[in-house]
A and B are shown apart, each in its own frame.
Chain A
Amino acid sequence: MIRRAGEHALLVETGSLDVSHRLDALLRAHRPPGVAEIVPGPETVLVSAPGADPSRLLPELARLLGTAAAHAGQELPGAPAVTVPVVYDGADLREVADLTGLSPTEVVERHTGRELVVGWLGFAPGFAYLTGLDPALHVPRLATPRTSVPAGSVAVAGPYSAVYPSASPGGWRLLGRSPMTVWDVAADPPALLTPGTRVRFEAVTAS
């Protein structure tokens, strides 16, 4: 279903993150004229065309959505892959171990043990929600968020993991820190972790 989001935007329901990523990639490769924003979400893609009547985009969007859905489940061509080094000395590592019934070493093994995929970004510029986290590591957010979490903090909350792109308040549980810069306004694109990017964490020792 394609819904109106005001006069100049359409919200395309994709039904799955996988189809959202495919439609997002197709729209970026074949951007219809006038489209300013393409914002993927877990089950939607928002397409904004300020100043235009987006209903003229409908046939093209419906066609691209069909293409995206037809290839669901297959490997997304062109999706970048990133290895993120992490020093696993986070303030909440012990508590996550207690909550999950694992040892801290096992928490690290499970966090580094599978490939995650950037679902979408939100909360702050460059803040990527990483999906595909080992279910054993699904823990609730902190009851009281920290007023400041340093940039580079690697954290988990619910079914997601993330690398804090810049210092900000935060309620996720901190497993460690990465020396990798995931947000740089001078870079193009400024975010390292863009929707669809495959991410693998790698344990490193502090240098």
Chain B
Amino acid sequence: MIEVIAAGPYATVQDLGRPGYGHLGVPCSGAADAPSLRLANRLVGNPEGAAGIELTFGGAGLRFTTGAWVAVTGAACPLEVVADGMMTRPAMLAPFWVPPLGELRVAFPLAGLRTYVAVRGGLDTPAVLGSRSTDSLSGLGPAPLGAGDVLPVGPSEDLPALTVDAVPPGTPREVLRVVAGPRDDWFAPGALETLCAQPYVVSQDSNRVGVRLDGAPLPRAREGELPSEGMVAGALQVPPDGQPIVFLADHPPTGGYPVIAVLASDCLGAAAQLRPGDRVRFRLDRLAPP
């Protein structure tokens, strides 16, 4: 069991979400930076889709009533483990042992936004529609974590041995690649070039639904409303003010604003690590037309 001493500004249980229910109005949800959750799980021998904790701006304290192997990935935070009056400083991106009654403290990240804590055995909280994730848009799944919450940990006897010692940190991405469309023809000529010409600043209003950006507006070529249509994670949806929103894990499954471009899939995790005030650039990838 894990007892939450402190949850930081915003913390939730996340796995890889509940794909397949978009036609019923259910967002996929799941870890915003899914590659980081997958990595954390691999580091402790879990299946990649096991549930872990997604911290926003770090700031967590977790007490382990039984000892556990833990790995922390995503936005790099100073870590401390306090047990039996002793304090150690484990590294990110590698499994470490938290002794029984030990407390893991995750400080604030110097860069990036979301940090993932995986525990060997995975969190065994109740699942809704096949997922333990908290969906901030629809309210499915448990409430965000708060002090005093207790999280059961699943069994680990049958998991494979820990075989990975550590992984090198990834390099931060300052440029996110995008694929044009599906509605780039709703925008004035040159709008894609405008999108890629100068940086956008991440707005305070960003959350797990989307990263709101401030920068050069993307003017429309046509007025009117687009009939509601299916949306994918990574879509750059553009409301009438011309400021793009990059959809993250809790995005609505359908939307009515045109999508000028979609992030390359390997840039989605990096987009989820953008914090308010960060600058981000886009670069157009040319894909063969379908």
Chain A: residues with CB nearer than 8 A to chain B? 2-11, 24, 36-46, 48, 50, 54-55, 58, 120-129, 166, 185, 189-191, 194-195
The segment out of B68-76, B85-93, B202-210, B229-237 that lies at the interface is: B229-237
- Which of A36, A38, A55 makes the CB contact (< 8 A) with B288? A55
* Residue on B nearest A42 in the bound complex, by CB: B227
Q: Does B182 contact A (CB under 8 A)?
A: yes
Alpha-carbon distance A126/B21, docked complex (angstroms) = 10
A54, B290: Cβ atoms closer than 8 Å: yes
In contact, B254 and A185 (Cβ under 8 angstroms)? no
Q: How far is the CA of A3 from the CA of B263 in the complex (A)?
A: 15
28 A–B contacts, CB within 8 A, in A order: A4-B180, A4-B287, A5-B182, A5-B230, A5-B232, A5-B262, A9-B262, A11-B229, A36-B20, A37-B19, A39-B253, A40-B230, A41-B254, A42-B229, A44-B230, A45-B230, A46-B232, A54-B290, A55-B290, A121-B253, A122-B253, A123-B252, A125-B24, A128-B25, A185-B128, A185-B129, A190-B21, A194-B24
Which chain A residue has the least Cβ–Cβ distance from B27?
A125
Identify which of A10, A42, A55, A191 contacts B25 (C-beta below 8 A).
Answer: A191
Task: Specify which of B128, B180, B228 is in contact with A42 (CB 8 Å cutoff).
Answer: B228
What residues of chain A lie closer than 8 Å to B28, measured between beta carbons? Answer: 37
- Closest A residue, CB atoms, query B231: A46
Q: Which 8 pairs show the lowest CB-CB distances between chains A and B?
A: A46-B230, A6-B262, A39-B230, A121-B25, A3-B182, A122-B254, A41-B229, A42-B227
B contact face: mostly helix, strand, loop, or mixed: loop
Cβ of A36 and Cβ of B140 under 8 Å apart?
no
B19 touches A122 (CB 8 A): no
The residue that A37 contacts in the complex, of B22, B140, B182, B264, with Cβ under 8 A, is: B22
**A6 and B234 in contact (CB under 8 A), knowing A43-B229, A44-B227, A125-B138?**
yes
B254, A11: Cβ atoms under 8 Å?
A: no
Complex Cα distance, B139 from A127, in Å, reads: 14
| Contact between A37 and B20, CB atoms less than 8 A apart | yes
Bound-state CA distance A46–B255 (Å) is 12
Q: Determine if A40 and B227 form an interchain contact, defined as CB atoms under 8 angstroms apart.
A: no
Provide the bound-state CA to CA distance between A125 and B22, in Å. Answer: 9
